């Protein structure tokens, strides 16, 4: 079992040099995706920018594939100051900051570019500012692709979701969405999905194309239903405990290095949405379209429920829904 207290202690002991000292410090950035994913690529760009801007006085070491733990474990490490940076799924942050659920109201956005534009709006930036209440500093976003469904058998209409065991992100909006379609949302670590598809513990996966390609999920589940039902941002966060030790100039240097990587990541992911679909077709994946008007109709009660539950969610949706 992952021992969060041991890791906090070991990382804290290893980090004895401050950014303002003469010696360089290696900052730790964790995330859960493979190196082929846009979150990792954006983190790598951020690291390159920061090293260049500081003549290698600030360096970032990236830990992909949950090497520093899952989302909740990394949040604990950030809050303690044991690690400095992470990319955390907005769905996990929403368990602590409810307004983050604004990103998951179905069919708010038609593509990644629309979602990326919303992230730079006043409402999108306020969602980041609210993270201070949880000892986190929100630097910005990194968008995975829009959500679709990959499955062992073809799903070509909304009735096809009935009674299907769908791996879903462990979040209340996701759960409401899949239950409304008659499916059984199943929480499972992304690393366990491949074996679960092989052993019929899962019928399908709610997922972005980057993960499908990166983990080759199509080898177990050769059918892709293009639902495009939600955006899925990762939130790039810093430890408030670490951030507050930086000078104003150092904070600005870190932020400038990240913001260039953020915009670069948005552009790369918009291109990847097209290239990933082409890769899947070339790999023999059967791509199925579905009547989205029926899906949007089913989503209406969910949207109204969450708008009524939180003023920030309502304002975000009203500002950005098409």
Distance CA 175, CA 320 (A): 23
Eight-class DSSP state of 171: S
Q: Are 90 and 235 in contact (CB under 8 A)?
A: yes
Q: Based on the domain organization, do 255 and 219 belong to the same domain? A: no
Q: Based on the domain organization, do 15 and 113 belong to the same domain? A: yes
- Number of neighbours of residue 160 by Cβ within 10 angstroms: 21
- Number of neighbours of residue 192 by Cβ within 10 angstroms: 12
The residues near 50 (Cβ < 8 Å, ≥ 6 apart) are 58, 59, 60, 253, 254, 257, 258
Q: Based on the domain organization, do 96 and 226 belong to the same domain? A: no
Nearest to 231 by CA among 160, 321, 297, 314: 321
- For residue 139, what are the domain limits? 4-145+233-276
Pairing between β-strand 136-143 and β-strand 85-89 as defined by DSSP bridges: unpaired
Q: Based on the domain organization, do 73 and 216 belong to the same domain? A: no
Could you tell me the pTM of the whole model? Answer: 0.90
Q: Based on the domain organization, do 44 and 186 belong to the same domain? A: no
Q: Based on the domain organization, do 31 and 117 belong to the same domain? A: yes
pLDDT recorded at residue 189: 87
> Would the pLDDT of 19 be above 80?
no
Q: Based on the domain organization, do 37 and 85 belong to the same domain? A: yes
Distance CA 274, CA 277 (A): 5
Specify the CATH number for the domain of residue 41.
3.40.190.170
Residue percentage of the chain with pLDDT more than 90: 91
Q: Based on the domain organization, do 53 and 177 belong to the same domain? A: no
Q: Are 261 and 42 in contact (CB under 8 A)?
A: yes
pLDDT digits (tens, 9 = 90+) for 206-247: 999 999 999 999 999 999 999 999 999 999 999 999 999 999
Q: Based on the domain organization, do 88 and 122 belong to the same domain? A: yes
Q: Domain count of the chain?
A: 2
Q: Based on the domain organization, do 116 and 250 belong to the same domain? A: yes
Q: Based on the domain organization, do 97 and 71 belong to the same domain? A: yes
Q: Based on the domain organization, do 121 and 9 belong to the same domain? A: yes
């Amino acid at each position: 079992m992952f021992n969060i207290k041991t890791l906090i202690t070991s990382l804290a002991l290893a980090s004895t040099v401050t950014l303002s000292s003469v010696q360089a410090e290696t900052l730790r950035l964790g995330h859960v995706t493979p190196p082929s994913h846009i979150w990792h690529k954006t983190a790598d760009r951020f690291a390159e920018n920061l090293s260049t801007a500081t003549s290698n006085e600030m360096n970032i070491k990236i830990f992909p594939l949950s090497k520093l733990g899952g989302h909740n474990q990394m949040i604990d490490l950030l809050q303690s100051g044991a690690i400095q940076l992470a990319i955390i799924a907005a769905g996990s942050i929403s368990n602590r900051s409810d307004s983050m659920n604004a990103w998951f109201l179905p069919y708010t956005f038609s593509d990644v570019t629309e979602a990326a534009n919303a992230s730079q709006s006043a409402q999108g930036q306020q969602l980041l500012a609210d993270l201070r209440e949880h000892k986190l500093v929100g630097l910005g976003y990194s968008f995975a692709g829009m959500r679709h469904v990959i499955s062992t058998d073809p799903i070509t209409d909304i009735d096809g979701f009935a009674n299907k065991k769908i791996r879903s992100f462990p979040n209340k909006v996701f759960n409401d969405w899949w239950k409304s379609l008659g499916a059984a949302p199943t929480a499972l670590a992304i690393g366990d999905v491949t074996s679960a598809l092989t052993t019929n513990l899962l019928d399908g996966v709610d997922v972005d194309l980057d993960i499908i390609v990166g983990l080759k999920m199509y080898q177990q589940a050769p059918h892709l239903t293009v639902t495009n039902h939600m955006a899925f941002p990762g939130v790039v966060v810093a430890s408030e405990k670490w951030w507050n030790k930086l000078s104003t100039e150092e904070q600005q240097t870190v932020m400038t290095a990240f913001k260039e990587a953020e915009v670069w990541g948005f552009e790369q992911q918009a291109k990847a949405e097209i290239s990933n679909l082409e890769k899947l077709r070339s790999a023999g994946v059967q791509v199925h379209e579905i009547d989205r008007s029926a899906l949007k109709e089913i989503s209406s009660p969910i949207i109204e429920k969450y708008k009524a539950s939180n003023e920030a969610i309502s304002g975000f949706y009203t500002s950005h829904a098409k």
